[in-house]
Amino acid sequence: MISQFDSSEPKVDIILPNYNKGEFIKESINSVFAQSYKNWNLFIIDDNSQDDSKKIINNFRNENNNVSVIYLSRNKGVSFCRNLGIRLSNSKYISFIDSDDYWSQDKLKKQIIFMEKLNHKFTYTNYTPFTVKNNKKIFRKKVIV
């Protein structure tokens, strides 16, 4: 369960498009729940997945009030899903996470503090790509953007 947040903190809507990423989506969603920054809503937009994604997503949907799930009846692509999430958002900030990514625990907190302090309307972060081989993550060089 999500702990209480400071209501003076700006709200962040997190948009998570998903298509057949059942292998990764639980870790992705859990990384959102583990955030030290708590004033957020999560929009999971499933793009008509045919794997076990829907079953995994439903487990999170049923236990968290700040999670909204939209199941599309046909595959429309990741851009459509992100744009739908943007249209649904009514928060000061929007953050995107892909269904095969995960965040460090302080990602949102550091980014929001940075944006508020410097009055930025848009920011982006570095990332570390990985591949999975024999059920083990192999991390590549961090991409500094």
For 44, 66, 102, 143, the CA distances from 136, given in Å and listed in that order, are 26, 31, 15, 20
> Distance between CA 12 and CA 6 in Å, rounded?
13
Looking at residue 145, what is its pLDDT? 78
pLDDT digits (tens, 9 = 90+) for 96-132: 999 999 999 999 999 999 999 999 999 988 788 888 8
Predicted local confidence at residue 24, as pLDDT: 93
Give tens-digit pLDDT for 46-56: 999 999 999 99
Residue 5 pLDDT > 70: no
On whether the pTM is more than 0.75, the answer is yes
pLDDT surpassing 60 at residue 4: no
Predicted confidence band of residue 2 (pLDDT cuts 50, 70, 90)? very low
Helix (H, G, I), strand (E, B) or coil at 36: coil
What's the rounded Cα separation, in Å, for the pair 3 and 137? 30
Pick the residue with more confidence: 28 or 135? 28
Q: Are 15 and 82 in contact (CB under 8 A)?
A: yes
Question: Higher confidence at residue 1 or residue 103?
Answer: 103
